[in-house]
Structure 1
Amino acid sequence: MSADGNWKITINTPMGAQTVNATLKTSGDTFTGTTEGQMGKQEVSGKVNGDTLTWSADITSPMPMTLEFEAKVDGDKMTGNVKLGMFGNAPLSGERV
């Protein structure tokens, strides 16, 4: 499984769909990269476990919270879930671009 490359990720939040562009680079059991979307640009890093990526991101808008991501990569597709703090979960999907 390689998650390396550019991804367009859509998160279906209670406030509507949010689109994020991500650039990822794996190295063993970790990855690094950047995400850019409505919340601005952010450096990200996380864990790789087989075909699954996990990471977290701190946001300040619409309110401060930590988002916890888990995404399974299958070829050029990505599916998963985002924990939205006290607001529950939101499904995510992505495709390599």
Structure 2
Amino acid sequence: MSDIGGTYDFTVSTPMGEQTGTMVVTPTADGNGFDGELNGTLGAMSIANGTINGNTLNWQMKMNMPLPMTLDCEAVVDGDNVVGSIDAGMMGKMAMKATRRT
């Protein structure tokens, strides 16, 4: 699924309330992975280790605020919509959703 590229508006339900922003996704040349960046109310985070398996995406991000930690993310793409979760370790799993705008 190499058609995941673009800019998405996202919302994540966190213990500190809803966090919003944009996520830029850039597929790799072979179409099996992706990278990008998430820019939100808590700052910017680079997408690392992005993999594509059918319509399921998996990736990691390193968060610095409010605590430094690695976030493990998984989401399912359905057209321009993405629904998934972000595992924040001791803070638990947080629901995320996104809609492609470009």
Taking structure 1 as the reference length, the TM-score comes to 0.91
RMSD over aligned CA atoms reads: 1.2
Match of 1:71 among 28, 51, 75: 75
In structure 1, the residue matched to 2:19 is: 18
- Give the equivalent residue in structure 1 for 2:35: 32
Runs of 5+ consecutive residues of structure 2 not aligned to the other structure: none
Matches of 1:36 and 1:66 in 2, distance apart?
Answer: 16
Rounded to whole Å, the distance in 2 between the matches of 1:88 and 1:5 is 28
TM-superposed deviation, 1:63: 1.0
Instruction: Give the alignment of 1:58-97 within 5 angstroms.
Output: 58-97=62-101
Q: Aligned partners of 2:45, 2:85: CA distance in 1, in Å?
A: 19
Match in the other structure for 1:9: 10
Alignment of 1:42-61 (within 5 A): 42-45=45-48, 46-61=50-65
Structure 1 residue 31 displacement after superposition: 0.3
Kindly tell me the number of residue pairs found equivalent between the two proteins. Answer: 97
After alignment, is 72-81 or 23-32 more displaced? 23-32
Instruction: Say if 2:45 and 2:63, in contact at 8 Å, map to a contact too.
Output: no
Q: CA deviation at 1:42?
A: 2.9
The CA distance in 2 between the partners of 1:81 and 1:23, in whole Å, is 17
TM-superposed CA distance for 1:33, in Å, is: 1.2
How big is the shift at 1:26? 1.3
